[in-house]
Amino acid sequence: MLRNPPGPTRSSYAPCDEYGGRAHHREFQLERLKVGETAEHCGWLYYDADDQGRARRYWGEALTTATVLGDDNLAIMVLASLSMQASYEGRPRQGLALAQAAQERAVRYGSPMLQSLLASRAARALSLLNDQTGAKKRLTESMRLVERDGRGRPSPEWAAFHGHAELDYTQGLLYTEAGHHHSAVTFLRAALAHQDRTYGRNRALYRLTLSRSLVRAGEADEAAAEAVESLEHLEEVESGRVNRRLKEVTGLLRGVDTTAARDAADQLTEFAELSGVA
């Protein structure tokens, strides 16, 4: 004769309570992580819009979330972004420290592409600190790591943009800051050639930066042609950073006494006025 099993005791529910607590904790962490990732994305949008104060606040919130959750991937992404912003705003010493902090966290990931991206951020900061030797060393390291892509762990999805085009662009900026504008032109052309056409914002920025270097290298007519060609990309994107470079190039072309330069400056000005950039 079968007998009825005894009723459940309080201790019988303990594993369920523990599981429920863990599940609730995991759900809470996932929600917090989504909030942190959203804050990081908002930071990038405001950075690109050239609203650096708001970008910094959102990235600060994202970094706090990453620290609370112990999420290294989010922390590395935010530190890399803050390093980029610091260099952009003329705070290269802080940019270097942030890049190094990101590199330290990224070591255990074993991703050559991620380490390459972070080394390029450090190179940019060192260049702005007038440490051209250190910058060249970090950039060489970054290039070497790119060649190892596929041998280690893949890079995070957010770092997918990094590659040869980004490194050529960084090298071009390093030569620009050193005053070697003809050498900068070579690498900026290569950056444009390597850049995937789906990255319209980058193509616009690269072409305008190439135009700027051409003006400084004394190649005004070529600079004018590149500047005018950049308008094709500018129609596809809205970017405060790109608009700032547009104004800079327009001003440089206005200072050159050639027909091509004047015509290009007029076209850039007209575009800016029609698009509300001016």
Question: How many Å apart are CA 166 and CA 172, to the nearest integer?
Answer: 10
Residue 149 confidence (pLDDT): 67
- For residues 179-191, average pLDDT: 97
pLDDT digits (tens, 9 = 90+) for 27-43: 777 888 999 999 999 99
Per-residue pLDDT for 25 more than 80? no
pLDDT digits (tens, 9 = 90+) for 79-121: 999 999 999 999 999 999 999 999 999 998 889 999 999 999 9
Query: Percent of the chain beyond pLDDT 90?
Result: 74
Q: Under DSSP, is residue 185 helix (H, G, I), strand (E, B) or coil?
A: helix
Which top CATH class is 163-278? mainly alpha
Helix, strand counts (H, E) of the chain? 12, 0
Question: How many Å apart are CA 9 and CA 195, to the nearest integer?
Answer: 66
- For residues 237-259, average pLDDT: 95
Query: Percent of the chain beyond pLDDT 70?
Result: 89
Question: How many Å apart are CA 248 and CA 246, to the nearest integer?
Answer: 5
- Contact of 149 with 113, CB cutoff 8 Å: yes
Residue 274 confidence (pLDDT): 87
Question: How many Å apart are CA 164 and CA 135, to the nearest integer?
Answer: 17
Question: How many Å apart are CA 90 and CA 73, to the nearest integer?
Answer: 26
Residue 118 confidence (pLDDT): 97
pLDDT digits (tens, 9 = 90+) for 144-160: 999 886 676 878 889 98
Residues contacting residue 194 through CB under 8 Å, at least 6 positions apart: 163, 164, 165, 168
End-to-end alpha-carbon separation of the chain, Å? 92
The pTM of this model reads 0.86
For residue 98, which of 79, 123, 75 has the smallest C-alpha distance? 79
For residue 242, which of 42, 16, 49 has the smallest C-alpha distance? 49
- Contact of 41 with 66, CB cutoff 8 Å: no
Domain ranges of the chain: 29-134, 163-278
pLDDT confidence bin for 5, thresholds 50/70/90: very low
For residue 41, which of 100, 94, 92, 81 has the smallest C-alpha distance? 81
pLDDT digits (tens, 9 = 90+) for 254-278: 999 999 999 999 999 999 998 876 5
We find that the CATH architecture of domain 29-134 is: Alpha Horseshoe (1.25)
Residue 278 confidence (pLDDT): 59
Mean pLDDT, all residues of the chain: 89
- What one-letter code names the amino acid at 255? G
Residue 87, both tokens = 């260099």
- Contact of 271 with 238, CB cutoff 8 Å: no
Q: Note whether 29-134 and 163-278 share their fold.
A: yes
Q: For residue 227, with 0-12 CB atoms within 10 Å meaning exposed, 13-18 middle and 19 or more buried, which class applies?
A: buried
DSSP state of 12: G
pLDDT confidence bin for 22, thresholds 50/70/90: low
Question: How many Å apart are CA 72 and CA 66, to the nearest integer?
Answer: 7
